[in-house]
C-alpha cells in the first residue's frame, strides 16, 4: 500500500473513533438538575401578639370607660327598680334610664347592643355572662369582669306601693315613690364612690389581669389592635 493510501486510512480511522466518542458521551447539563425537595417552602411569618401593644390598647379603653362611669355618677340619674320587691339589676327602666354598665357600652358606640340586651333580658347580671358580644366587650373594656359587676350595682325597689283592688283589677300606672328614689340615689352615689376608689386602687393589677384574659383570646386581641 502506498504511503498516501496508508495516511488516508489512518485519518479515516481516527475520525470514526472521535465521532463514536462524541455520540456516546452525554453533553454536560443536557438535563436540568433535580430539584432539592429537602428545602422548605418559603412562608410568611405568623403574626405574634405583642403584650405591650395589647396593654396600651386596654389602658386607653379603661380610661374611656372609667370617664363614662364617672360622668354617669355625676349626672345622678339611675334606673328605677319598679319590678321586684328586692334588689334587682335593671338594664333600662321604663323611663329609658340605663344602668352604669349599659351607659358605658352605649357611650362606646354600641347602642344597638344595649337595646338588644334590654329586649332579650332586661334584668341581666353581667356576673353570669360567659360568652357572646357582652363578654367580648368586657374583655376589651380594660376593666375586669369583677370591676364591671361592681359597677352594675342592683337597685332596691322604688315603686309606690298600691293597695290591692277590691273589684275587677284595673291596670294601674307604675309610679316611682319620690322618697324611696331619693334614698336610693344617695345609696347608689355612696356605693359608686366606693367602686371608683376600688377601681383606681387596683389599676395596675387589674390591667395585667385584663391583658392575660384577652391574650387568651387571640382573635379578639387582634380585633382590638386592628380596630
Q: Over its length of 227 residues, how does the chain's per-residue pLDDT go in tens digits?
A: 455 544 445 455 545 554 445 444 444 444 555 555 555 556 666 788 999 999 999 999 999 999 999 999 999 999 999 999 999 999 999 999 999 999 999 999 999 999 999 999 999 999 999 999 999 999 999 999 999 999 999 999 999 876 554 445 555 667 999 999 999 999 999 999 999 999 999 999 999 999 999 999 999 999 999 98
How far does the chain reach from its first CA to its final CA, in angstroms?
101
In a domain, 100, yes or no: yes
* Closest by Cα among 199, 211, 198 to 63: 199
In a domain, 70, yes or no: yes
In a domain, 219, yes or no: yes
In a domain, 79, yes or no: yes
Provide the residue range defining the domain that includes 141. 51-161+176-226
Residues forming a β-bridge with 88: 155
In a domain, 43, yes or no: no
In a domain, 99, yes or no: yes
Q: How many domains does the chain have?
A: 1
C-alpha grid cell, residue 188: 347608689
pTM comes to 0.77
In a domain, 55, yes or no: yes
In a domain, 24, yes or no: no
106-135 CB burial, b ≥16 within 10 A, e <16:
bbbebeebbeebbeeebebebeebeeeebe
Amino acid at each position: 500500500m502506498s504511503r498516501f493510501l496508508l495516511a488516508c486510512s489512518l485519518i479515516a480511522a481516527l475520525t470514526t473513533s472521535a465521532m463514536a466518542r462524541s455520540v456516546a458521551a452525554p453533553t454536560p447539563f443536557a438535563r436540568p438538575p433535580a430539584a432539592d425537595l429537602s428545602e422548605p417552602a418559603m412562608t410568611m411569618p405568623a403574626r405574634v401578639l405583642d403584650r405591650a401593644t395589647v396593654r396600651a390598647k386596654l389602658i386607653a379603653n379603661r380610661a374611656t370607660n372609667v370617664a363614662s362611669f364617672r360622668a354617669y355618677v355625676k349626672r345622678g340619674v339611675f334606673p328605677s327598680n319598679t319590678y321586684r320587691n328586692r334588689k334587682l339589676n335593671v338594664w333600662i327602666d321604663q323611663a329609658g334610664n340605663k344602668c352604669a354598665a349599659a351607659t358605658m357600652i352605649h357611650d362606646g358606640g354600641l347602642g344597638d347592643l344595649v337595646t338588644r340586651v334590654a329586649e332579650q333580658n332586661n334584668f341581666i347580671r353581667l356576673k353570669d355572662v360567659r360568652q357572646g358580644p357582652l363578654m367580648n366587650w368586657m374583655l376589651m373594656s380594660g376593666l375586669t369582669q369583677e370591676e364591671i359587676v361592681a359597677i352594675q350595682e342592683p337597685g332596691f325597689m322604688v315603686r309606690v306601693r298600691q293597695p290591692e283592688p277590691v273589684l275587677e283589677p284595673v291596670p294601674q300606672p307604675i309610679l316611682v315613690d319620690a322618697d324611696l328614689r331619693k334614698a336610693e340615689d344617695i345609696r347608689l352615689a355612696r356605693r359608686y364612690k366606693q367602686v371608683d376608689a376600688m377601681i383606681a386602687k387596683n389599676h395596675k393589677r387589674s390591667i395585667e389581669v385584663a391583658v392575660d384574659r384577652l391574650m387568651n383570646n387571640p382573635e379578639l386581641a387582634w380585633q382590638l389592635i386592628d380596630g
